[in-house]
Structure 1
Amino acid sequence: MSVALAGSPAASSTQYEPLRVMIVDDSVVIRGLISRWIEAEPDMVVAASLRTGLDAVNQIDRVRPDVAVLDIEMPELDGISALPRLLAKKRDLIIIMASTLTRRNAEISFKALSLGASDYIPKPESTREPHAADIFKHDLLQKIRHLGGKVRRKATAVAPPLASAASALDRLREPAAHIAAMPSVPSQTALVKRSFGPTAPRVLLIGSSTGGPQALMSLVADIGPVIDRYPVLITQHMPPTFTTILAEHLMRASRHPAHEGVDGEAIKPGRIYLAPGGRHMRIAKQGNSPVIALDDGPPVNFCKPAVDPLFSSAIEFWQGGVLAVLLTGMGSDGMRGGKEIVAAGGSVIAQDEASSVVWGMPGAAANAGICAAVLPLNQIGPKLVRLFSGDRS
């Protein structure tokens, strides 16, 4: 057994102490790599570095991590088996599943999301490839920071109202680095909203990232009347293989045809088209018809596929008839394309902060003043059905 533990958190810890991360992976190379990345960050610390899921279950009460990076394939107790046992011991634990890009691991990752995992991340096939390792590092640190930070903010929101004067002073004196790592989000009551465009929508575009698979499954189940009459195109930040399986899940949830877009494929009503992992999906014109155009260019907003290429390219064919939705996700992808949609006469809806796993992408659009509505996830579907039925308010 290979176990490395940091000191247990003090009982008087504050919300701004570094996020405690537990790394669980049977590869000593991966554990060492992730540990070095985390220790170099000012707002996180390695709470434990463990070889098996059983080690994690046995040590969690002592370690008390905020976030666990959990491998899928491990001896003694694999990740999917350890997941419910870890959550049973610490309900607010953020668990990020890590796996290599195989269909089996992608299926297990989707199952893990349904069992309570917060997110997943694909491990590079080789850590010796600088580009792959850099993307893995960037994505992992962002997920740890944003997902862990949200739990800290939730804990603050439900804290007892009578805080001590010392606690208040501690918060006022907090180091700037930690405050920057977990930024506050402007209140939704201060957001500027615009009217829906005057043109009836003719296509639905959706962009999503962290927390997106669960949100998408819920949304497509609510918009059957829209899918019946109009095409739906989705970009979810996701690697190859994962998008193939997501499309299958979307087909079952929506009860409509759903698949990864194919280059040159005609876009038709009644179907859901998903950007394939590793390629941008754009809209092109072929005669008088719209077709899928796949792009193998560089990442946009650190993402491939990215939402902005889909949003921006749809304007040429549908112009003011574009209705775009930005769901939960990190970063600001989709905001620039959303601005272009609004400038062309189309409309943008964003998921609200409370129902988002991370209010990055929808929050960026909302704070840019381009949204006609900012709604909880369970209200977006009914709103879309009304808009595509002629309601313009």
Structure 2
Amino acid sequence: MATATQAAAPPAGTVTDPIRVMVVDDSVVIRGLISRWVDADPALAVVASHRNGKLAVDDIERSNPDVVVLDIEMPEMDGLTALPLMLAKKKNLVVVMASTLTRRNAEISLKALSLGAQDYVPKPESSSSISTSVDFRRELIEKLKSLGPRARRGAGFARRPMRAETAAGQQVGNAAVAARPGAIVRPAFTLRNYSSARPRILAIGSSTGGPQALQQLFRDIGSTINDIPVVVTQHMPPTFTAILAEHLAKAALRPAAEAQDGEVLKPGQIYVAPGGKHLVLEKDAGAAKARLTDDPPVNFCKPAVDPLFDSVAKIYGSATLAIVLTGMGHDGAAGVKTIAAAGGSIIAQDEKTSVVWGMPGAAAQTGQCSEVLPLEEIGPKVIRILGGRR
């Protein structure tokens, strides 16, 4: 059967209802395997399973999924063709692309993100590899559970945080703003003053939603990073990171590439941590060099943000400017504390503009950030800081 609908479409579910998942893949083995994994988690439920994009598009309204796991290469209608048709049928539908680690599929996955997909998950090369891949199963289930609630809340679920205009260590929260006419209430954060030192490096960490956020950020700041190097850790597998670097080069109109082990960092260039390796910096003869390590995953991630932030803080201290963008989990939060302890400055992306407010939320909750800003305000703020203003 092309379709195995397991639940009738209800009205919008309550928050406690299982997240409704549609699985779309031309392999009956993979469809069955993913479906069993999903149904084994009480927070999730498979509502439909299809072998191609056309059948899935036709069934969106009836099955009413919150999240679709969408294969790229399928007969009759592939994933990239089906994606916009699905999104047109259901507002706030979350689509997670699934593809093997080929350059072509990596390109298509990043294209899908620009067309409205929320995330991607790399599939092992063969069905037998998928069935034994603990990492693939863990990553897929985590992403479905993190992204699913967003579909129900809708694009406007989070209130835009109020800009912080406070002294270091001051708590900003409901009580602090309640007396202001027309003030927007936000959760409380403790913020620190920005460092008085001019930044000599920009370090960025991101995950789910990161490729889109990074491209917007670099479009904004590309013309102003003449005098400092930029280092980026985005949670991505091999092949994907090389293509991401190419996209960032186009957005920033600056040289951008995967970091090479031992290369000296140069101002005006963007260095991306390659998939499957940690990027750290070390000082050698007065120069900062990139080092790629094969150390174990940190926070289940490789590359991970914490090792990069820790190494940057050791070399640049108070001249560090770091940004934590959208992403699942809490990677980067420990590194934020290290940077703050060294006197550097950190900006976290706000909840409303984050695809998942895991990493930036964890960074904000450390109380060590200087500001928590919407994505569209981060670039202009970086420009001011690099220009010697706050």
Q: TM-score, normalised by structure 2?
A: 0.90
Distance 2:191 2:316 in 1: 23
Which residue in 2 is equivalent to 1:146? 146
Farther-moved stretch of structure 1 (371-380 vs 14-23):
14-23
Which residue in 2 is equivalent to 1:106? 106
Distance 2:331 2:156 in 1: 28
Structure 1 residues 175-198: Cα deviation after superposition (integer angstroms, max 9, x where no partner): xxxxxxxxxxxx744111111123
Task: Assess, with a 3 A threshold, how the Cα gap between structure 1 residues 86 and 138 changes in structure 2: closer, same or farther.
Answer: same
Task: Assess, with a 3 A threshold, how the Cα gap between structure 1 residues 131 and 30 changes in structure 2: closer, same or farther.
Answer: closer
Answer 1 or 2: which has greater helix percent.
1
Which residue in 2 is equivalent to 1:74? 74
Which residue in 2 is equivalent to 1:177? none
SS of 2:4's equivalent?
strand
Q: 1:225 touches 1:385 (CA, 8 Å); kept in 2?
A: no
Deviation, 1:155, is: 7.8
How many residues align? The count is 364
Q: 1:198 touches 1:345 (CA, 8 Å); kept in 2?
A: no
Distance 1:45 1:116 in 2: 23
Which structure 2 residues correspond to residues 207-218 of structure 1 after superposition, within 5 A? Answer: 207-218=205-216
Which structure 2 residues correspond to residues 90-105 of structure 1 after superposition, within 5 A? Answer: 90-105=90-105
Distance 1:46 1:284 in 2: 48
SS of 2:322's equivalent?
strand
Which residue in 2 is equivalent to 1:364? 362
Distance 2:202 2:223 in 1: 12
Deviation, 1:201, is: 1.3
Structure 1 residues 87-129: Cα deviation after superposition (integer angstroms, max 9, x where no partner): 1211221110100000111111111111111111110124545
Task: Assess, with a 3 A threshold, how the Cα gap between structure 1 residues 153 and 239 changes in structure 2: closer, same or farther.
Answer: same
Distance 1:269 1:253 in 2: 17
Q: Which amino acid aligns with 1:258?
A: A
Distance 1:205 1:39 in 2: 39
Which residue in 1 is equivalent to 2:197? 199
Task: Assess, with a 3 A threshold, how the Cα gap between structure 1 residues 385 and 155 changes in structure 2: closer, same or farther.
Answer: closer
Which residue in 2 is equivalent to 1:243? 241
Structure 1 residues 129-183: Cα deviation after superposition (integer angstroms, max 9, x where no partner): 589711111111111111111222338959xxxxxxxxxxxxxxxxxxxxxxxxx
Distance 2:36 2:196 in 1: 53
Which residue in 1 is equivalent to 2:7? 7
Structure 1 residues 55-108: Cα deviation after superposition (integer angstroms, max 9, x where no partner): 101222211111000000011111111111111211221110100000111111
SS of 1:38's equivalent?
helix
Deviation, 1:12, is: 7.1
Q: Which amino acid aligns with 2:381?
A: K
Distance 1:281 1:154 in 2: 35
- Correspondence 1:354 to 2:360: no
Provide the alpha-carbon RMSD of the alignment: 1.8
Q: 2:223 touches 2:252 (CA, 8 Å); kept in 1?
A: no
Distance 2:324 2:276 in 1: 20
Distance 1:390 1:341 in 2: 19
Farther-moved stretch of structure 1 (203-212 vs 145-154):
145-154
Structure 1 residues 250-288: Cα deviation after superposition (integer angstroms, max 9, x where no partner): 000000000000000110101000000110100011211
Q: 2:21 touches 2:44 (CA, 8 Å); kept in 1?
A: yes
Which structure 2 residues correspond to residues 1-393 of structure 1 after superposition, within 5 A? Answer: 1-11=1-11, 13-126=13-126, 128-129=128-129, 133-154=133-154, 157=157, 188-391=186-389, 393=390
Task: Assess, with a 3 A threshold, how the Cα gap between structure 1 residues 49 and 12 changes in structure 2: closer, same or farther.
Answer: closer
Distance 2:318 2:365 in 1: 22
Task: Assess, with a 3 A threshold, how the Cα gap between structure 1 residues 131 and 389 changes in structure 2: closer, same or farther.
Answer: farther
Distance 2:17 2:384 in 1: 46
SS of 1:253's equivalent?
helix
Structure 1 residues 313-348: Cα deviation after superposition (integer angstroms, max 9, x where no partner): 112221221110000000000010110000011111
Distance 1:13 1:331 in 2: 25
- Identical pairs, percent: 57
Q: Which amino acid aligns with 1:324?
A: A
Deviation, 1:28, is: 1.6
